Amino acid sequence: MNNTRSQPSSCFPVVRIAGVNGMLVSFGDRLTEASNRAALAFRAALEERRIEGIGETATSLASVFTRFDPLVISHRRIEGLLRDLLATRDWYSAPLPAGRRLWRVPTVYGTDLAPQLDEAAEAAGLDRDEAIERLGTSRVRVLTIGFAPGQPYLGPLGPEWNLPRLQELTPMVPRGALVLAISQFVLFAGPTPTGWRHVGQTAFRCFRPESDAPIALRPGDEMIFEPVDRATYDRLSASDATGDGGATRTEIAP
């Protein structure tokens, strides 16, 4: 992003207020591999400390959110604790979490299932086949789970995909939609209005409330959205009982 009038990049990591019961530690105002990795590692370290008064922690793309009870632990005190933890190491060089998986997800690009592929390709300066080739071979990481249950933000994609969100919302994209903006994918967990471009369609279900493991993906997992034709997608959709939509999963060696 381009506006940081009050928060120049040089001051990261930065600790800021997020509501009367929240603090946000941000490792950047742009998504980078390192700022995402820093957020994942910092959150893990914060969880390990089990600080009284902290209700929960969560990561976003490049930040860690801490919810706490301001009547148990004051903002000043929690800010001090967060700054102390920040000072213990260089978080940007922290390793990725263990237990990561690689998912290969069958994906239809374009067609009436994903009608904004062509305009995304044009905005990226590519023809359709080249766009499918690049998107379909991009190995992206689950940067965070958010917006809706189990829904991953994925990236980074190449700089040609640094497209702003659309000002006009698409009224509804379906579950399993692969959408694109600002060099990221989102794989939608449910039907949602969005300003991101709908470039692919999968039969993958991110949220499976009927399952013992309702959330399929974890931050740090990697995904490849491999192109398939419409007939293959239809067959996978019709026969899918697990929610994987034909996706395969393998462990990533540490």
Note whether 70 binds another protein by CB under 8 A: yes
Q: Smallest gap, in angstroms, from Cβ of residue 132 to another protein?
A: 25
Note whether 172 binds another protein by CB under 8 A: no
Q: How far is 87 from 109, CA to CA, in rounded Å? A: 45
Q: Are 181 and 168 in contact (CB under 8 A)?
A: no
Note whether 49 binds another protein by CB under 8 A: no
Binds another protein (CB under 8 A): choice among 27, 37, 42, 63: 63
Binds another protein (CB under 8 A): choice among 12, 13, 26, 27: 26
Note whether 221 binds another protein by CB under 8 A: no
Q: For residue 240, give every residue at least 6 positions away whose Cβ sits within 8 Å of its Cβ, in sequence order, or none.
A: 203, 246
Measure the CA angle with vertex 142, ends 53 and 48; round to 5°: 30
CA 199 from chain centre, in angstroms, equals 17
Note whether 31 binds another protein by CB under 8 A: yes
Q: Smallest gap, in angstroms, from Cβ of residue 233 to another protein?
A: 22
Binds another protein (CB under 8 A): choice among 34, 44, 53, 67: 67
Q: How far is 182 from 32, CA to CA, in rounded Å? A: 12
Binds another protein (CB under 8 A): choice among 3, 95, 98, 112: 3
Q: How far is 189 from 204, CA to CA, in rounded Å? A: 9
What residues between 180 and 209 interact with another protein by CB under 8 A?
Answer: 182, 189-190, 195, 207, 209
Which helix or strand (DSSP H or E) is residue 187 part of? strand 184-187
Nearest to 71 by CA among 59, 55, 57: 55
| Residues that bind another protein in the complex, under the rule CB under 8 A | 1-3, 5-7, 16-22, 24, 26, 29-31, 55-63, 65, 67, 70-71, 74-75, 144-151, 153, 164-165, 167-169, 182, 189-190, 195, 207, 209, 214-215
